[in-house]
Structure 1
């Protein structure tokens, strides 16, 4: 894929220089690696990070017209800014995707097309993953291997994961799922809670 730009990066936005004082690589380490089960989280983090870096131009704007001899200075700056943002956005996304997934994606030189290809591939996976999480949430039982607090936090984390997929578990349902997951030795607690 080539070397990633490191050190202060400079981009042009509306004719003004904008300095990005960090490397793409260090920021990519903060984005979860895209796997089969975390598309929604990855998608949100990628869009946020590219926005903070002021590289989301290619995700928000169509490619400007190619530069010709008749292009104005403003058109040249816009084209060069878009081209740079596109190249860096594409590299950033590829750095945050597992290799086995990368190889199954179409090769494109347009960051927005690449992001849409990833989204199309994972739209179905997210839906099937959400049903798996819901099934786990409804059938999980406290096994006594760890503390009750850890068990409850584990269930709450599953509900939060469900929310990142664009769906939400009502708090009263979550409480009911948790109470149902506890064995009979917690009946006094269940009665007191109700």
Structure 2
């Protein structure tokens, strides 16, 4: 396996709860592979009077943009690819992925909130397991940048018990 291939293999597949890690790992891999030019700089504008150097800069940027987009597409799941429109630049593509992720994240937050609000101890398992399950859901919400007040969570957890 090439060094570039091993660098990219460190980028996880984007899922509902790992956008921040995915983005950080993607940025590092693209930087180390020297492909982040398309993320750092806008597309160069070339006219009929442009110099050879300016034309070469555009070609280098196009190559980096194409490779970045290809690597991003490879690290997102099929169901998300269908939700992301084809974009001309990597920065547009990344912004669209972020928007789609935020929609997925909102749905996940709503689902977790509904699970917490509808949690009732049904006698299966122990009270400790029930409390840990609610704590786990609250932690997932915190990981999604949704903070629940601890007093509210304690009060609600106690009310979910018989």
TM-score normalised over the length of structure 1 = 0.62
**Alpha-carbon distance change, 139 to 88 in structure 1, aligned in 2, over 3 angstroms:** same
* Cα drift, residue 85 of structure 1: 4.4
The Cα RMSD (Å) is 3.2
Give structure 1 regions of 4+ aligned residues with deviation exceeding 6 angstroms: none
Q: Which structure 2 residues correspond to residues 2-17 of structure 1 after superposition, within 5 A?
A: 6-9=1-4
- What are the equivalent positions in structure 2 for 1:130-149 lying under 5 Å apart? 130-149=109-128
Equivalent runs, 1:30-179 vs 2, <5 Å: 31-34=12-15, 38=16, 41-53=17-29, 54=31, 56-65=36-45, 69-71=51-53, 76=56, 80=60, 82-179=61-158
Q: Can you give the 5+ residue segments of structure 2 that lack an aligned partner in the other structure?
A: none
Would you say 1:22 and 2:6 are equivalent positions?
yes
TM-score, normalised by the number of residues in structure 2: 0.71
Greater fraction of residues in strand: 1
**1:140 Cα deviation from its structure 2 partner:** 0.6
Work out the CA distance in 2 between the residues paired with 1:131 and 1:106: 25
How many positions carry a matched residue from both structures?
Answer: 156
| CA shift for structure 1 position 48 | 0.5
Higher share in helix:
2
